[in-house]
Every structure is written in structure tokens, then in C-alpha cells.
Amino acid sequence: MKYYSLNNNPKLIIDLHTHSTFSDGTLTPEELINLAYKQKLSAIAIADHDTVGGVKDFLQTAENFSDDLTAIPGVEISTTLFNREVHIVGLFIDAENQQLNDFLQKQRTARQNRNEIIVKKLQTCNYDISIEELKKELSSDAIGRPHIAAALIKKGYFSTPQEIFDKLLRRGKPCFEPRPLPPVSEAIEIIHEANGIAIWAHPVYQPRKGQRHQTRKFAKKLKSLGLDGIETYYTVYNEQQQKMLQEIAQGLDLLESGGSDFHGENQPKIMLGKGYGNLSVPYKVYEKMIEYIAQRN
């Protein structure tokens, strides 16, 4: 895939965090590309959870729009740091890298083992659900709790995923099961091995006391482990959070990144490239990544 620059036109918008049917999104990789073109995005990255299974179709479809749209291969990996779950998005990865694929297979196996335990707990709570029917219904490489929730809704047990998580699947609820996560250092190393750059995804959500200090502490540690950048643009950020993250990124000489975390109908209020309507990730973010990669190489 050839990466190129279109000049820093302020009207050019990108989305570097999206999901397809290969994890917990509802659009296929081909549909993601077609929607990105329709929405007039200039660059889009696929970042499915623990899989690069959709990358090939994603890139091939994008060749039909190569004059207008850049497609970036990526992946999102759940890790742990300071006993907290931290998500790392790898961008510009070589999806055929064997070390990366071996690592991701281990993560999917851990996810599968967790799903089996969750399903058994649901069965104990008298919910009619099985692993076999989940596998039959879904094309995803990385079945997770959202898929389990969708199956329960389809069977008429609940109306919304929120109800299911609040009653059954969230930490502390009767059917929750923790998933063993790799250390963040391992994920960053694997992403670099696949020639990608490692981005800390959605560092903050709800505003809370001491957020700047805590976020900078994590960012500083991640930087020492090889982190390349931070998502300074994201669907749920308010203006203060975005400014804080930009200041942290600049202070630690980290790249800025951003995206909608688009999942299609699984999160219908989040629009591709626009989030809740106010998201706008500028093309200069992409251009600086290209410059960074060129200097690194």
C-alpha cells in the first residue's frame, strides 16, 4: 500500500480508529471503505480487536478509491499497565507479519476461553445460549461480550446491550469473567516488529479529579516502553480533555492520533469520521505520522 500526502487542506478529515465485522463492528471491511468514501474522508484505518483478518479486503477495496482515500492497516490490542486495562492501536502494520499473527492468535484463544466460561455462567443463570450458536451466527475473528449481548437480545431476554452489561457482564456482575491480558510492553514491541506505530487509544473517558496527573504518569511510562503516540481526538472527549491530551503529547514528544471508534449499529450514535457529530481529526495528524515513519526508517 502506497501512502501519500494531499497537502494540509483543513477540509480533509480522517478516522484512524474503526472496527469491522472481523471484531465487534457491523460493517464489513469493504462496507467501511465505501462509507468512508461516501463521507468524503481522506484517510481511514481499520483497527479490529486482536485480529488483522479484515485488513486484506479493506486494502483491496480501497484501491478502487486510491485517488481520494488512503486506507491504513491497523489493529487494537488490549493490554495491562499498573493493573489497569490499556488499549493500544497499531497503525501502518504489516498484517502478514508472522510474529504479530502468532501474538494475536494467542489473544484470540484467551478471549475464546473467557467466552466459554461466560456462556457457562449464563447457562447456570438459565439463559439459553451456547458457544456453538455464537460461532455459527458470527463471522468475527474475535467474539467478545458485545456478541454475547447481541445474542441475548436476539433471543428476547433484553432490549439493549447496556441492560445486559449492567445486570450480567460488567465487572462485579454474576456472569463477568476477567481476561488475562499481555503487558503493554509486549504489544508495543509486537507492533514495532510489524513495522507499525503504537498509539495509546482513548486514554480518558469521564472527567475526574487528578486526571491530568494520572494520564501524564501513564503516558510517560508508555513513552519509556516505546509508545509512539496518543489519541488526542476521540468521540467522547470534551474540549478540556482534548486540550489536556494535546499538551501531554506535545510535552512528551508523542504523535497525535484520533478516530471515532466506529462500530456501526453496535453503537449507532457514533458516526464514521464524526463521532457524535463534533469530531474532526485533521489530515495533518496523518501527515505527521508519515513524516515520523520516514524519519524512523
Q: Name residues whose C-beta falls within 8 Å of residue 65's C-beta, 6 or more positions apart in sequence.
A: 33, 37
> Which residues partner with 18 through β-bridges?
46, 262
Contact 15, 273 (CB under 8 A): yes
- The vertex-51 CA angle with 49 and 55, nearest 5°, equals 110
CA nearest neighbour of 79 among 266, 227, 217: 227
Residue 156's region, left for phi above 0, alpha for psi from -120 to 50, else beta, is: left
Tens digits of per-residue pLDDT, 39-80? 999 999 999 999 999 999 999 999 999 889 999 999 999 999
Which position has the grid cell 471515532? 260
What per-residue confidence (pLDDT) applies to 297? 79
Asked if the structure places residue 146 within a domain, the reply is no
Assess if residue 233 is contained within a domain: yes
pLDDT of residue 238: 93
Q: Count Cβ atoms below 10 Å from residue 238 Cβ, excluding itself.
A: 12
Task: Give the residues across from 179 on adjacent strands.
Answer: none
Separation between Cα atoms, residue 31 and residue 49, nearest integer Å: 18
Q: How does pLDDT run across 80-98, given as a tens digit for each residue?
A: 999 999 999 999 999 999 9
* Beta strands per DSSP E along the chain: 13-18, 43-46, 70-81, 84-91, 197-200, 229-234, 255-259, 281-282
- Residue pair 49/263 in contact (Cβ under 8 Å)? The answer is no
With respect to residue 5, please indicate whether it lies within any of the assigned structural domains. no
The predicted structure's pLDDT at residue 209:
77
Would you give the distance in Å from CA 77 to the centre of its chain? 7
Cα–Cα distance, 197 to 293 (Å, whole number): 8
pTM: 0.91
The pLDDT, as a whole number, for residue 267 is 87
Any domain includes 160: no
CA dist., res. 242 & res. 172, Å (int)? 31
Q: How many CB atoms lie within 10 A of CB 294?
A: 9
pLDDT at 1: 45
Question: Which of 138, 156, 166 minimizes the C-alpha distance to 26?
Answer: 138
Q: What is the Cα–Cα distance from 89 to 99, expressed in whole angstroms? A: 17
User: Per the domain annotation, does 174 fall within a domain?
Assistant: no
Residue 82: inside a domain, yes or no? Answer: yes
pLDDT by residue, tens only, the chain of 297 residues: 445 444 445 568 999 999 999 998 999 999 999 999 999 999 999 999 999 999 999 999 999 998 899 999 999 999 999 999 999 999 999 999 999 999 999 999 998 899 999 999 999 999 999 988 887 776 666 778 888 998 999 999 999 888 999 999 999 999 999 989 999 999 999 999 999 999 999 999 776 777 999 999 999 999 999 999 999 999 999 999 999 999 999 999 999 999 999 999 888 899 999 999 999 999 999 999 999 999 987
Range of the structural domain that residue 291 is part of: 13-103+181-296
CA angle (79 as vertex; 74, 82 as ends), nearest 5 = 140
Question: Has residue 267 been placed in a domain?
Answer: yes
The structural domain count of the chain equals 1
Phi and psi at 160, nearest 5°, equal -135, 155
- Residue 109 burial by Cβ neighbours in a 10 Å radius (0-12, 13-18, 19+): exposed
Residue 128 covered by a domain? no
CATH number for the domain that contains residue 233: 3.20.20.140
